[in-house]
Chains A and B, each alone.
Chain A
């Protein structure tokens, strides 16, 4: 039996470049693009929460 745990949300805007620069995170040596969030999505979620 296979159960889905997670799947990506559909992006309304892609390639907009508003995401934070990868090197602004914690590591400075093991930068991981997939650890980042989409700023558009994050921003929209914050607006919804208000």
Chain B
């Protein structure tokens, strides 16, 4: 399948079968997309010669490869909900402001230790394992985070394995000691900050109802200064209230953060929910952001925006590309009482409880359902150009919006496709600069 698209005055061809990206002139783009174009015999001859050359090289109209999802029975990652409590009361929180529609509680070390044992026991021959500390707010249970890290490292070393740790935090409790611990032990740290003060404070409020921006931004700045070249992301959420979210991303970049992500909200609160009527503006915002992103990169003032990072050259193998995110099969969430869910977005919904790390149980039927869910079980994805990049979307979003993990939600599809086109443009502009 060939996807022809324009970005301002640039014309691109993405070949789904080979995964290659090309640029072309307007007439070639028109010809390939079947649009009526005025093209001379000579031009047509040259275009056809280019097409035939690329076809012969397997880079255009390449047959989509037969691929099968990875049939791994190894567990490689866990999300530990060390705290189902939070020191913020963000309006849009998918996790019910930290409580996950249940009681506010924290995970005991006994449970986190059992989770580490569960992961090690079920990790087969895999050498590198991953744990992310999540909440609620995981720093409300820092002692258990620390003890879990030290325990996991010790046990992994005995088996010749290694852990990579990630923490997602709102930053409110960051202090010097925690920053040092994070820099020593965390492979990645994700810090929540929505952008401009008025945008952040409108939704991310403390328990007392005050905006958290002023406190949080200073703490996150301090953390990033001490972080050096280790991975981190400052991650924001945009809602229907800030559809001009490119301003928030650029605000964060101007504040000195160089590794950024901005995600559409997952909520059913009417005034915050992203709806179909917002789509045109959101697509325009991605372009606005992309233009500035390319400009800053050309000026040597670039930053990293997570969604403009599509890796066409060194990305994952085909098996991974059709296997989706791995939730419910090789990745699970563990909540404070030790119950296992496919991922954090399913946590607390008893329908999706898969077992318990304390009991050492895992529902084989549910796991099979997730293991078999892949690009090919998502019928709508068959004729989509983005399928080998997005892998059929998020199981949880699919379920929450369409009632089925295999039915992609059209809104997230549309946003994903736009981001991928922007990412391809970013890559093309970067390659052009490198040539010069």
Q: Which residues of A contact B (CB under 8 A)?
A: 1-9, 11, 13-39, 41-42, 45
State which of B77, B310, B419 has its C-beta within 8 Å of the C-beta of A21: B77
Point out the residues of chain A lying under 8 angstroms from B389, CB to CB: 32-34
Closest to B32 in A: A2
State which of B266, B315, B416 has its C-beta within 8 Å of the C-beta of A8: B315
Point out the residues of chain B lying under 8 angstroms from A35, CB to CB: 306-307, 309-311, 315
Q: Which residues of B contact A (CB under 8 A)?
A: 12-13, 18-25, 28, 46-47, 50-51, 54, 59-60, 70, 72, 74, 76-77, 79, 94, 126-128, 130, 132, 134, 164, 166, 168, 188, 190, 233, 235, 259, 261, 263-264, 266, 306-307, 309-321, 323-327, 330-331, 343-345, 388-391, 394, 397, 412, 415-416, 419-420, 424, 427-428, 431
Min CB distance A6 to B, Å, is 4
- Whether the pair B316, A7 counts as a contact (CB closer than 8 A) is no
The prevalent SS among residues of A at the interface is loop
- Whether the pair A27, B263 counts as a contact (CB closer than 8 A) is yes
- Whether the pair B394, A31 counts as a contact (CB closer than 8 A) is yes
Closest to B94 in A: A29
Min CB distance B20 to A, Å, is 4
Complex Cα distance, B32 from A1, in Å, reads: 12
- Whether the pair B164, A34 counts as a contact (CB closer than 8 A) is no
Point out the residues of chain B lying under 8 angstroms from A3, CB to CB: 22-24
- Whether the pair B431, A6 counts as a contact (CB closer than 8 A) is yes
Point out the residues of chain B lying under 8 angstroms from A24, CB to CB: 77, 130, 132, 164, 166, 188
Point out the residues of chain A lying under 8 angstroms from B72, CB to CB: 17
- Whether the pair B76, A30 counts as a contact (CB closer than 8 A) is no
Min CB distance A30 to B, Å, is 5
- Whether the pair A19, B320 counts as a contact (CB closer than 8 A) is yes
Min CB distance A1 to B, Å, is 6
Given contacts A15-B319, A34-B315, contact A2 B310 (CB under 8 A): no
Q: What are the 10 tightest A-B residue pairs by CB atom distance, in nearest-first order?
A: A34-B389, A21-B77, A26-B233, A15-B319, A26-B261, A14-B317, A7-B20, A22-B325, A33-B391, A2-B50
Min CB distance A27 to B, Å, is 5
Point out the residues of chain B lying under 8 angstroms from A45, CB to CB: 314
Complex Cα distance, B72 from A4, in Å, reads: 35
- Whether the pair A32, B416 counts as a contact (CB closer than 8 A) is yes
Closest to B235 in A: A26
- Whether the pair A1, B412 counts as a contact (CB closer than 8 A) is no
Min CB distance A34 to B, Å, is 3
Min CB distance B400 to A, Å, is 11
Point out the residues of chain A lying under 8 angstroms from B21, CB to CB: 4-7
- Whether the pair B18, A7 counts as a contact (CB closer than 8 A) is yes
Complex Cα distance, B126 from A37, in Å, reads: 17
Min CB distance A21 to B, Å, is 4
Given contacts A23-B327, A34-B389, contact A7 B312 (CB under 8 A): yes
Complex Cα distance, B233 from A42, in Å, reads: 20
- Whether the pair A26, B306 counts as a contact (CB closer than 8 A) is yes
- Whether the pair B79, A23 counts as a contact (CB closer than 8 A) is yes
State which of B188, B344, B388, B394 has its C-beta within 8 Å of the C-beta of A34: B388
Given contacts A8-B19, A15-B70, A25-B306, contact A1 B50 (CB under 8 A): yes
Closest to A31 in B: B325
State which of B46, B130, B166, B323 has its C-beta within 8 Å of the C-beta of A1: B46
Closest to B127 in A: A18
- Whether the pair A11, B317 counts as a contact (CB closer than 8 A) is yes
Complex Cα distance, B306 from A35, in Å, reads: 8
- Whether the pair B321, A33 counts as a contact (CB closer than 8 A) is yes
Given contacts A5-B23, A11-B317, A24-B77, contact A32 B310 (CB under 8 A): yes
